[in-house]
Amino acid sequence: MAWLAIIAVGVLAAIALSPIFAVIFLVVLITGIVALTRGSRTWLRFSSRRTAAWVTAFSAVGFLVTGSMANLVIGGDRGEETVAAVVEPTTVPSEPVDAPTPTPSETPTPTPTPTVQAVAVTNVIDGDTITTTAGDVRLIGIDTPERGQWGYDDARTELEGFLSAGVVTLVAVDGRDDVDRYDRLLRYVRVDGNDAGAHMIGTGWAIAKYDGRDGYGSHPLQDDYIASDAKHEMPAEPAPEPEPAPAEPETDPRFGTCGEANDNGYSDYQEGVDPEYHWYQDRDGDGWVCER
């Protein structure tokens, strides 16, 4: 058993001294490489290149083995030092500090287009279009005669009178376009709460149009507009007055002969000029009758 103890002691000693052996093997390895490269002897006094090659190879193997052992020894010591150095810190209770509550930033809310908007009317273009302080406005769901058509003046005058009776407001309709292709606002127009479109249809100067029946989208008053339109027809265009018959040309009194005409102070009727020419005979054919 003594030899096992000796071997164990030797292994432990080799492990403990492995860093020193690693350095020695490294020096011999470098020396052997230099000798083989230059082809000359070094301080080790190799007798031949073959010897230098064997010694160099052995040194390389020894360096790898002892270097690995040295790494374990050094790494183990560092690990112990690291474990020893890790000390669980003692937590010292401290008084709670009230963190300032962050002030929420106010996000600006976009201002929507108002549903109901009071305006002033600056011009009445026709029976379904007006100009206001909010812009040009096209009344939703109705149609009136255009400029140059029968009823244009009457429809425009009717709407103008209706709008002048009180406070005018514009009412946007959900589900309908905000503006039309001419950039006119599409709105109900009300005066003191009374709807201008319904009024115009009720007078007969507007018809229900541009709604869900013809692809423009329905609107809340569509059924009321259609029902009112069925009850109120637009006034018919009056028939043009007949042109007056051409007045009969004024003539002199007619006498039986030129002598009688001359006796009463009438004479000298020319063909193609005076209608009286055909009442008498042109005996000399000179185009005159009843000459004096």
pLDDT at position 202 is 97
Question: How does pLDDT run across 155-170, given as a tens digit for each residue?
Answer: 999 999 999 999 999 9
Q: What number of other Cβ atoms are within 10 A of residue 232's Cβ?
A: 15
Task: For residue 162, give every residue at least 6 positions away whose Cβ sits within 8 Å of its Cβ, in sequence order, or none.
Answer: 191, 196, 199, 200
Q: Stretch 138-159: mean pLDDT, rounded?
A: 96
Long-range contacts of 113-122 (CB under 8 A, 24+ apart): 113/172, 113/178, 114/172, 115/171, 115/172, 116/169, 116/170, 116/171, 116/172, 117/169, 117/170, 117/172, 118/167, 118/168, 118/169, 118/170, 119/168, 119/169, 119/170, 120/168, 121/163, 121/164, 121/168
Separation between Cα atoms, residue 186 and residue 184, nearest integer Å = 6
The band of 5, judged by pLDDT with boundaries at 50, 70 and 90, is: low
| Alpha helix segments (H runs only) across 42-92 | 49-85
Question: How does pLDDT run across 49-101, given as a tens digit for each residue?
Answer: 677 777 777 768 776 777 777 677 666 555 444 444 444 444 544 545 455 55
Choice among 136-150, 216-230, 241-255 with the minimum mean pLDDT: 241-255
Nearest to 62 by CA among 109, 110, 108, 29: 29
Separation between Cα atoms, residue 268 and residue 178, nearest integer Å = 81
- Residue 133 gets which letter from DSSP? T
Quote the pTM value: 0.47
Question: How does pLDDT run across 115-132, given as a tens digit for each residue?
Answer: 899 999 999 999 999 999
Question: How does pLDDT run across 17-53, given as a tens digit for each residue?
Answer: 667 777 776 777 677 777 777 766 555 565 666 777 7
Separation between Cα atoms, residue 112 and residue 110, nearest integer Å = 6
Overall fold of domain 116-231: OB fold (Dihydrolipoamide Acetyltransferase, E2P) (2.40.50)
Separation between Cα atoms, residue 50 and residue 55, nearest integer Å = 9
Tell me: pLDDT of 205 over 80.
yes
pLDDT at position 144 is 97
- The single-letter code of the amino acid at 62 is G
pLDDT at position 34 is 73
